[in-house]
Amino acid sequence: MPKTILSIVGARPNFMKIGPVIAALKAVGMAAPLVHTGQHYDEAMNDRIFQDLRLPQPDVNLGVGSGSHAEQTAEIMLRFEPVLDRLRPDALLVVGDVNSTIACALVAAKKNVKVIHVEAGLRSFDRTMPEEINRVLTDQLSDLLFTTERSAAANLMREGIDPVRIHFVGNVMIDTLLANMELAVPAMTTVGLPGGYAVVTLHRPSNVDEPKVLERLLACLIEVAAAVPVVFPMHPRTRARIDAAGLLPRVEAAGIKLLPPLSYLEMLGLMRTARLVVTDSGGLQEEATALGIPCLTVRENTERPITITEGTNTLVGTEPSTIMAAFQDILNTGGKAGLRPEFWDGRAGERIAQVLMREL
């Protein structure tokens, strides 16, 4: 009997991780059904990215939508349990660190269904971040843990995870990036610019939910925009916060190009010819490293330290003087040159399938 591995996606950053895994599982003859929790549901946050990535239509969509963390997590668990009972997979595979990841892993673990975590062991050591809680707990529930960088294994072992369960396979998100380079939509088409601009994304609650912090960060972007064009595709949460704080006119007057969330291929095309990336996203730090584009991360910490030690990433926090000094450095020197980390080579999905063939 071929093994059945049930995969979960819920929110945007999951979508660019799951395609290479499902393709590799199918290539070795496993059944690979997909459940979407519906955590992200906007056309821009969901449908267009699914299409761009040519992902299979989910077998089930739980349609949970937004809510508080407790509401969202609980609702996913309630709706997922009967689906798991019906599909009876040999194992559940979850990716990343969103609420859908922990919710489905918890349901499966309590039913003695094996849990596989892709992108295990990343730690920001900042438990005020909801994702950090999701990471620690998902790893504790997992039977097999696949890591993207070597530092992750040390984090897991410190938390008591048996090293035989940990497998360093590389980064599936970079599998997706490399497979889609040729298809990327040129920035000229998306924003009418040939290159040389700054791409900005901000959506972390710590940066956008507190009006004072948000205003300070936007003031920096306005200063950046005086030197290079700034393109800012906005998460719906960020758009709502900027609106509520009455800051939209100031941002627009500075010439910052505000866009709705972009599709995957538009975003890839935009990053590829950027002069720099300014972000608080986890995924963009890795994508910028893979593309060799300097990245300023507007956070105090990162769970992806290899993007700093080997890649193009610099942590700049939220202090304007630090942000602007790092920006000046990019203008003066071109910024940090980086290497592409070990196993960020387009074959992480295949390595995962090989391990699962052996272990399940």
**Rounded to the nearest whole angstrom, what is the least distance from the CB of residue 251 to ligand UD1 in the complex?**
19
Question: Would you list the DSSP string of 206-274?
Answer: HHHSSHHHHHHHHHHHHHHHTTS-EEEE--HHHHHHHHHTT-HHHHHHTT-EEEPPPPHHHHHHHHHT-
Give me the torsion for CA of 296, 304, 52, 204, rounded to 10°.
-60
**Rounded to the nearest whole angstrom, what is the least distance from the CB of residue 209 to ligand UD1 in the complex?**
10
Query: Any contact of residue 235 with ligand UD1 (CB under 6 A)?
Result: yes
Query: Any contact of residue 219 with ligand UD1 (CB under 6 A)?
Result: no
Q: Pattern of binders to ligand UD1 over 295-314, x per CB under 6 A?
A: --------------------
Q: Which residues within the stretch 5-64 sit at the binding site for ligand UD1 (CB under 6 A)? A: 11-13, 39-42, 45-46
Q: How far apart are CA 133 and CA 289, in angstroms?
A: 25
Query: Any contact of residue 131 with ligand UD1 (CB under 6 A)?
Result: yes
Query: Any contact of residue 257 with ligand UD1 (CB under 6 A)?
Result: no
**Rounded to the nearest whole angstrom, what is the least distance from the CB of residue 282 to ligand UD1 in the complex?**
6
| Region near ligand UD1 per CB under 6 A, out of 25-33, 187-195, 233-241, 317-325 | 233-241
- Residue 214 or 330 having the CB closest to ligand UD1: 214
**Rounded to the nearest whole angstrom, what is the least distance from the CB of residue 238 to ligand UD1 in the complex?**
9
Q: Which residues within the stretch 193-212 sit at the binding site for ligand UD1 (CB under 6 A)? A: 203
Q: Which residues within the stretch 82-121 sit at the binding site for ligand UD1 (CB under 6 A)? A: 97-99
End-to-end CA distance of the chain: 12
